[in-house]
Amino acid sequence: MSSRLETLAAIIDAFVPAADGLPSASDLGIHIRLLAEVDALGRAELTQQLNLMLTMASSPVGNLVFSGRPRSVASMDQEAREAWLRSLADSPIGLKRTAFQDLKRLTLLLAYGMENSPWRARSGFVPPVPETPNLSAVNVRTPAAGEVIDADVVIIGSGPGGSVTAGILAAAGKHVVILEKAAMVTEEGFGGPELDGLGSLFLDRGLAATTDRWIAIRAGSAVGGGGVVNWNSSLRAPAAVRDEWRAAGIGDDLDEHYAAVEAETHVTTEESIRNGPNARLEAGLNALGLPWQTIPRNVRGCTDCGPCAVGCRIGAKQNGLRTYLAQACASGAQILDRSEVVRVLVENGRAAGVVARVPGGEITVRAKQVALAGGSILSPLVLLRSGIKTDTAGRFLHMHPVVAIAGLYNEDLAPWSGVPQSVMSDAFGEIEGTWGFRLEAAPTHPGLIASGYPWWSSADHRELMTHCGSAAAFLAIVRDRTEGRISMARDGGTSIQYAPGDLEKSLISRATVELAKIHRAAGATDQIPLVTPPMTLRSGDAYEPWLAALGKRPITANRVLLFTAHQMSSCRIGTDPKMSTANPDGQVHGVPGLYVTDASAMPTASGVNPQLSLMALARRTATRMAAAS
């Protein structure tokens, strides 16, 4: 075994050693799989960072420089390796904490997320019985390099915004071509093993993160986009947010588009049944006298099987794939998968089509109208590569940073089954002006919860994972005022720069305390904040001192785990071309025929799950496109 592989095997075995009759992480080949996952991202910069760390940890001199320990990691015993990992985790140097979190999250995700993992089986996870797949009626093909295709409209991206745009314009008689970066996965491939779903349906194989890796990012990358993998929560933007959007030129006419999308995607509360974690959240809110509501969801015929985050095999999700894209294809639209748009063509001052990278080369799609719907992370990159609105594209990014606490209960909650989200509280939605946080529950599968749980020793983490079936994860979605930025990385990939500001940090601290109070009121015996070093509250521990310390804990990169599934505003709509990318009609300033029809168009953060708002906004823009052509 090479020194690089030997070192990596030693590190991952420190996280997951052979114990309790189960094999070590390296016995399962996770070191090989981890390298393959990093290489599959195609990001030379990340691969170089990993190689550098492994090289330094492989020799006494290198490890002395890296960690202050004059021994290679492979030569250490288990106790010394765990101490080495703790020194990285608690280092005052941010790059060392980043290295620890990278290794920890990916190792534990693989160890507990692999389909045949004995560690996953020991967690108590019961995989759902596969449903008979109900295939969507869409027309998808992979184009051949060199093709030149003529269309009336070309849409970049097939997610919620792109699907609505396609449906509206195809119904208006336009010849529509939709380009999707991801490969087509049909319902036969939905609802399967956790890792398979992450690899085939998510941006960066589910490993996307901010540049410092503080905030883990979940963004769909599939035909159908985020609508294929989200948790179906369908909420209108709050009134205070709508007031901000009016100032950007989006008035009350959005209401008709909300209503139309709700009707088309069957948004109701009829199938928002409580699973274990949502029932506990409701109980805790009631005990504290806090208001809550049942979350409307875009489903029809949901069987509450649970693997919503890796696609719905039975087609109960009434997302863009099942509705607007199917309708567009019935009207003659065509979806081209494995087609990553490189740049927008501009001729005589207006949009004229796109060039896309496909297997073996490139294709050109010529069209008088171009809709940018690649999502808030990728859409600005298209504009930057095209030299369009480089002064604003990628700026004003909002992320809804999310903080979570897991609670353990004296009952089987089966947190991986049932409706993912059905209860939401906006009791703290506006506590600093229009900024605050909403409270929801989250489904947890073994790989996800293993990678999120704090790790301070292999024995402690292993013990926590044996209680997965009785865990409920409550989360707070913070409406952020601070803005981030999307730019191009040195290796040509996407650089996501975002860090919570003082306001967001204060909201995260407050949210952590409120989540802990709700768990206690709901009857949790133990509480597990996702922080490093851990602050786990065990049954019998003194509660008030723990809560006070939790509220005072600094919100620091890679000490407090944050994640986000909501990215918005990176190509935002507005009236001022210096402060926005598109005008109130959704058309990019200065480039007639080029429109923004995804969440990147939102003027500010929605404050709630953005799917419904982005689809309503896309429908508003699409109707204007139809009228303008």
Does residue 454 form part of some domain? no
Domain check: are 155 and 200 in the same one?
A: yes
Domain check: are 53 and 147 in the same one?
A: no
pLDDT tens-digit profile of 300-322?
999 888 899 999 999 999 999 99
Domain check: are 116 and 150 in the same one?
A: no
Domain check: are 71 and 178 in the same one?
A: no
Residue where a domain terminates, one of 73, 92, 122: 122
What mean pLDDT is reported for the chain? 95
- Mean pLDDT to the nearest integer, 333-345: 98
pLDDT at 126: 87
Domain check: are 193 and 73 in the same one?
A: no
Tell whether pTM > 0.85: yes
pLDDT tens-digit profile of 269-304?
999 999 999 999 999 999 999 999 999 999 999 988
When pLDDT is cut at 50, 70 and 90, the band that residue 595 belongs to is very high
What is the per-residue DSSP string for 542-588? -HHHHHHHHHHS---TTTB-EEES--B-TT-B-S-TTS-SB-TTSBB
Domain check: are 144 and 194 in the same one?
A: yes
CATH of the domain at 342: 3.50.50.60
> Peptide bond before 143: cis, by omega within 30 degrees of 0?
no
Does residue 153 form part of some domain? yes
Whether 53 and 93 have beta carbons less than 8 Å apart is answered as: no
Domain check: are 65 and 172 in the same one?
A: no
Is residue 433 predicted with pLDDT exceeding 90?
A: yes
Does residue 30 form part of some domain? yes
Is residue 1 predicted with pLDDT exceeding 70?
A: no
Domain check: are 113 and 155 in the same one?
A: no
- Mean pLDDT to the nearest integer, 229-246: 97
Residue where a domain terminates, one of 122, 154, 171: 122
C-alpha to C-alpha distances, 523 to 281, 287, 399, 545, nearest whole angstrom = 10, 10, 31, 19
Nearest of 366, 42, 351 to residue 181 by alpha carbon: 42
Does residue 330 form part of some domain? yes
Domain check: are 214 and 327 in the same one?
A: yes
Nearest of 487, 471, 479 to residue 407 by alpha carbon: 471
Does residue 67 form part of some domain? yes
- Mean pLDDT to the nearest integer, 570-593: 98
Domain check: are 197 and 231 in the same one?
A: yes
pLDDT at 39: 87
Is residue 492 predicted with pLDDT exceeding 80?
A: no
Instruction: For residue 547, count CB atoms less than 10 angstroms from its CB and return exposed for 0-12, middle for 13-18, buried for 19 or more.
Output: middle
* Count of structural domains, the chain: 2
Domain check: are 200 and 81 in the same one?
A: no
- Mean pLDDT to the nearest integer, 177-199: 94
Q: What is the CB neighbour count within 10 angstroms for residue 276?
A: 22
Whether 419 and 273 have beta carbons less than 8 Å apart is answered as: yes
pLDDT tens-digit profile of 70-129?
899 999 999 999 999 999 999 999 999 999 999 999 999 999 999 889 999 999 998 888
pLDDT at 129: 84
Does residue 465 form part of some domain? no
Does residue 223 form part of some domain? yes
C-alpha to C-alpha distances, 407 to 19, 521, 529, 535, 539, nearest whole angstrom = 25, 11, 9, 13, 11
Domain check: are 159 and 40 in the same one?
A: no
Is residue 243 predicted with pLDDT exceeding 80?
A: yes
Residue where a domain terminates, one of 79, 95, 122: 122
Look up the domain containing 198 and give its range: 140-235+309-396+568-628
pLDDT tens-digit profile of 21-80?
999 999 999 999 999 898 888 878 888 888 888 889 898 888 888 888 889 999 999 999
Q: Which of 193-202, 265-274, 284-293, 510-519 bottoms out in mean pLDDT, i.e. has the lowest?
A: 193-202
- Mean pLDDT to the nearest integer, 133-147: 96
Is residue 629 predicted with pLDDT exceeding 80?
A: no
Does residue 535 form part of some domain? no
